[in-house]
A and B are shown apart, each in its own frame.
Chain A
Amino acid sequence: MDLFRFFEWLGNTSWSIALHESRYVFLLVLMIHVLTLSVFVGTAAMIDLRLLGKTMTRVPVSQVVTRLLPWSEAGFLVMVVTGTLLFYAAPVARYENVFFRLKMAALLIAVMNVWVFRRTIYRRVGEWDLDPVPPRRVQMVGALSLLLLAIIITAGRMMAYQDYWFG
C-alpha cells in the first residue's frame, strides 16, 4: 500500500479540508494539544523524577506509579485524539515533515520504554519500592523517558518550522 497516496486521499476528504480551513476549530484543537502537555508530560515527568530518586523519595514508587500514571494516561489519550485531528487536517504535510517523523519515532520508543519497564523491572518493584533512590536500571528507565519526552516536545515544536528552514 502506498502511504503517500492514502494520505493524499485522506487530505482530500471533506472533513479534512473543513478542519484545515476552519481557523478557530483548528486553533482550538492545537491549543488543547499543546496545553495538555502540562498534564501528560507533567505527571509523567514527576513519575520519572521519582524513578531517579529526585522527588517524593518517602513515597513508595509503586504508589507514585499507580496514583499518577492514570493521569498521565488520560493526558496521553487527549494528546493522541487531538494529535490525530491535527494530522488529519493536513496528512501529506505532516507525513512529509521530518520533525513529525522524528516525533513519532521518539513517541514509539517512549511507549516501548514504559511497556518493557512494566513487564520486567517493575514486576519486582517490591524489592526496591521503598528505596529513596531506586536501583540504577530503574533510574535509566526514568532518564530515558525524560530524554524522549524532551525530544517529543522539541520535534513537535519544530514541526511548524520545517518549511521555514528547508522549504
Chain B
Amino acid sequence: MQYSAPLVAMRQSPWLFPVIATIHLMGLSLIGGAVLVVDLRLLGLGLRSQPVAGLAHDAERWLFRGLVVAVSTGILLFMCFATKYYYLTFFWVKMAALILVIVFTASVHRRVALANEGDVSPMRCKLVALVSLSLWTIVAVGGRYIGFP
C-alpha cells in the first residue's frame, strides 16, 4: 500500500507530511480540551458547579470532531510509513490504548457522565475519570514515541 502512487508522492513532498502532522496535533489539542472539561468535572475540578451530564453532552460533539481530525490524519501519517510503523512496539501500544479508550468512553465513561446527579458515587466518578485520563495519556505518549528517532 505504501508504494502506491499518491503515497509515494506524499512521502516525497517535503511539505505534506509535516502539514498533516500539524493537523494531527490540532486534533490532539481538541481531544485534550473536550476530555479535560468532562474528566476534570468528574474529579470535582474545573466547572464543578455545572451538572456533569450537560458538560458531557456539550463536550461529546467536540471530542468526536477532534477524533475525526486526529484519526483521519493519523491514517494518512501511518500510510506514509506503514511498514516502518508496523514493526514499532509503540505504534501497537498506542493503537491498543486508543481502541480501549474509545470503547471505554462510549460505554462506562458515557454512562457515568450522562447519569443523573447523585446516581453515581463520587468515588466511581473519580475512578472513571482517572482511567480515561490515563488511557488518553498512553495514547499521546505512544504517539510521541512513534515519531522519535
Q: With A38-B29, A38-B33, A153-B25 in contact, do A165 and B14 touch (Cβ < 8 Å)?
A: yes
Please, what's the 1-or-0 string for A22-56, where 1 marks a CB less than 8 Å from any CB in chain B?
00000100010011011101111110010000011
**Interface contact B18-A37, CB-CB below 8 Å:** no
Q: Which residue of B lies closest to A41 (CB)?
A: B29
Report Cα–Cα, A164/B141, bound state, in Å: 26
- B131 interfacial contact with A, CB 8 Å: no
A49, B141: Cα distance in complex, Å: 26
User: In the complex the two chains form, is B47's CB within 8 Å of A64's CB?
Assistant: yes
- The A-contacting residues of B in range 15-68, CB under 8 angstroms, are 18, 21-22, 25-26, 28-37, 40, 46-50, 54-55, 58-59, 61-62
Residue in contact with A42 in the complex, picked from B36, B54, B141, B148, CB distance below 8 Å:
B36
Contact A45 B29 (CB under 8 A): yes
Partner of A55, one of B14, B62, B137, B144: B62
Helix, strand, loop or mixed for chain B's interface? helix
Check A55–B22 contact: CB distance below 8 A: no
Tell yes or no: A68 within 8 A of B by CB. yes
- The yes or no answer to A122 lying at the interface (CB within 8 A) is no
* Chain A interface size range: 20 to 34
Q: Is the Cβ of B32 less than 8 Å from the Cβ of A67? A: no
CB-CB nearest in chain B for A158: B18
A41's partner among B33, B35, B55 (CB-CB below 8 A) is: B33
CA distance A19 to B84 in the complex (A): 29
Residues in chain B near residue A41, CB distance under 8 A:
29, 32-33
Question: Assuming A157-B18, A161-B18, is B144 touching A46 (CB within 8 A)?
Answer: no
- Tell whether, in the assembled complex, residue A37 and residue B22 are in contact, meaning their CB atoms are under 8 Å apart: no
> Could you tell me the distance in whole angstroms from the C-beta of A62 to the nearest C-beta in chain B?
11
